[in-house]
């Protein structure tokens, strides 16, 4: 069992990533932490608690983290996820409370006590992870890898240059990419290969006890992606970062130097990926460049069917 901590901003795709991780046999989910992103922190925290309550995983401690980015005002995405952050299906209220320690303290405590280094899977703005590294640099050697959903080799989805998670908190992302830790970046260039079209949504509907909820979440997600982006297959961004931990063979990666633009008004939040090594600078990230789409969806179906 691989020990992991997920840091989330549910969000429809975060919810699917949480359920996928909980269904996967090879992950030991030590904690879930929440960050403001798709919707404000109170809602992302409530949504994480709702999803874990729904699937019967109230054993997983949930701790709230940053209510805003390191230096900027919060920018949210209700246009994609709705006012609640999980619009669409009726999902019951949470049946347990968040841990009073808060995200950074909870993660730090787990890292100290774990018998082996822990993999972090952040799939929202990287504020909590940056705060953890600032406050507990001595725990960096307790982190096995960071498998993050964020950035893009190429097009952005929030500005022409910037992907949402990095756009919301570019300073946090810069500190994480500059941390020297092993990082796998699952950017839009690979998560857009995981679009859940009508066929995939139909297949998901029969994937285990909660397939119906997943399908309804994705029907809503598809409706907003259609309206905002003209897509009929909403990308399952965050589950790709989980899949990259469960089955690294599904994601082809390339070592690259990744820098985050934090100053330009035009391109702030861009992950500047040195694909050809033209800067001569040491790579700091394994950047996803290709996803085994069929393998990814089979893994997703299998994981959800186990819930
Ligand atoms: O750009 C996509 C990312 O932003 C996903 O993590 C989605 O949940 C939102 O947080
Ligand atoms: Ca997310």
Does the structure show a pLDDT above 90 at 157? yes
Ligand 1 centroid – CA 113 distance (Å): 30
Verify whether ligand 1 is closer than 6 Å to residue 17 (CB atom).
Answer: no
pLDDT band at residue 103, thresholds of 50, 70 and 90? very high
Verify whether ligand 1 is closer than 6 Å to residue 37 (CB atom).
Answer: yes
Please give the Cα distance from 184 to 259 (Å, whole number). Answer: 14
Q: Is 283 helix (H, G, I), strand (E, B) or coil?
A: coil
Please give the Cα distance from 271 to 81 (Å, whole number). Answer: 24
Verify whether ligand 1 is closer than 6 Å to residue 238 (CB atom).
Answer: yes
Ligand 2 centroid – CA 277 distance (Å): 29
Considering only the C-alpha atoms of the chain, give the largest distance between any 2 of them, rounded to a whole number of Å. 52
How confident is the model at residue 25, as a pLDDT?
A: 87
Helix count and strand count (H, E) for the chain:
12, 10
CA-to-CA dists, residue 234 to 52, 113, 222, 228, 246, angstroms:
23, 38, 5, 11, 22
How confident is the model at residue 41, as a pLDDT?
A: 98
Alpha-helical (H) ranges within 155-292 are 164-168, 170-177, 188-191, 198-205, 211-229, 237-246
* Mean pLDDT, residues 277-289: 98
pLDDT digits (tens, 9 = 90+) for 24-75: 989 999 999 999 999 999 999 999 999 999 999 999 999 999 999 999 999 9
Ligand 1 centroid – CA 170 distance (Å): 14
pLDDT digits (tens, 9 = 90+) for 140-155: 999 999 999 999 999 9
Residue minimizing CA distance to atom 1 of ligand 1? 164
pLDDT band at residue 232, thresholds of 50, 70 and 90? confident
Verify whether ligand 1 is closer than 6 Å to residue 163 (CB atom).
Answer: yes
Residues 66 and 131 sit within 8 Å (Cβ to Cβ): yes
Atom of ligand 1 nearest to the CA of 191: 2
Ligand 1 centroid – CA 131 distance (Å): 20
pLDDT digits (tens, 9 = 90+) for 200-224: 999 999 999 999 999 999 999 999 9
> What end-to-end distance do the CA atoms of the chain give, in Å?
17
C-beta neighbour count of 172 within 10 angstroms: 30
Does the structure show a pLDDT above 90 at 87? yes
Residue minimizing CA distance to atom 2 of ligand 1? 164
Ligand 1 centroid – CA 238 distance (Å): 7
Please give the Cα distance from 20 to 32 (Å, whole number). Answer: 13
The rounded percent of the chain whose pLDDT value lies above 70 is: 100
What domains can be seen in the chain, in order of their start residue?
2-306 (3.90.245.10)
Looking at the CA of 34, name the nearest ligand: 2
Q: Which of the residues are catalytic?
A: 237
Report the length, in residues, of the chain: 307
Give the residue among 155, 152, 181, 153 at the shortest CA–CA distance from 165. 152
Enter the tokens of residue 146.
């960071």
Verify whether ligand 1 is closer than 6 Å to residue 13 (CB atom).
Answer: yes
Verify whether ligand 1 is closer than 6 Å to residue 270 (CB atom).
Answer: no
Atom of ligand 1 nearest to the CA of 123: 6
pLDDT band at residue 17, thresholds of 50, 70 and 90? very high
Write down the mean pLDDT value for the chain.
97
Please give the Cα distance from 47 to 5 (Å, whole number). Answer: 17
């Amino acid at each position: 069992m691989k020990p992991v901590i997920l840091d989330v901003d549910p969000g429809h795709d975060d919810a699917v990533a949480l359920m996928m991780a909980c269904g996967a046999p090879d992950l030991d989910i030590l904690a879930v932490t929440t960050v403001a992103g798709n919707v404000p922190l109170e809602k992302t925290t409530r949504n994480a608690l709702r999803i874990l309550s729904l699937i019967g995983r109230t054993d997983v401690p949930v701790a709230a983290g940053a209510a805003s980015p390191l230096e900027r005002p919060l920018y949210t995405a209700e246009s994609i996820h709705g006012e609640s952050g999980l619009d669409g299906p009726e999902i019951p209220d949470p049946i347990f409370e968040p841990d009073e320690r808060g995200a950074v303290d909870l993660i730090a405590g787990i890292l100290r006590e774990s018998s082996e280094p822990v993999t972090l899977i952040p799939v929202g703005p990287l504020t909590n992870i940056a705060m953890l590294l600032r406050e507990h640099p001595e725990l960096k050697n307790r982190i096995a890898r960071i498998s993050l959903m964020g950035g893009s080799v190429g097009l952005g989805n929030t500005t022409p240059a910037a992907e949402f998670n990095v756009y919301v908190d570019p300073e946090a992302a810069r500190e994480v990419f500059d941390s020297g830790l092993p990082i796998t970046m699952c950017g839009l260039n690979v998560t857009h290969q995981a679009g859940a079209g009508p066929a995939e949504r139909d297949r998901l509907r029969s994937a285990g006890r909660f397939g119906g909820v997943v399908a309804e979440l994705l029907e809503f997600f598809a409706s907003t992606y259609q309206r905002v982006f003209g897509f009929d297959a909403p990308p399952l961004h965050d589950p790709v970062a989980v899949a990259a931990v469960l089955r690294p063979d599904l994601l082809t990666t390339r070592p690259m130097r990744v820098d985050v633009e934090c100053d330009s008004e035009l391109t702030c939040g861009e992950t500047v990926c040195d694909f050809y090594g033209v800067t001569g600078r040491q790579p700091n990230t394994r950047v996803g460049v290709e996803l085994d789409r069929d393998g990814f969806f089979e893994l997703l179906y299998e994981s959800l069917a186990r819930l």
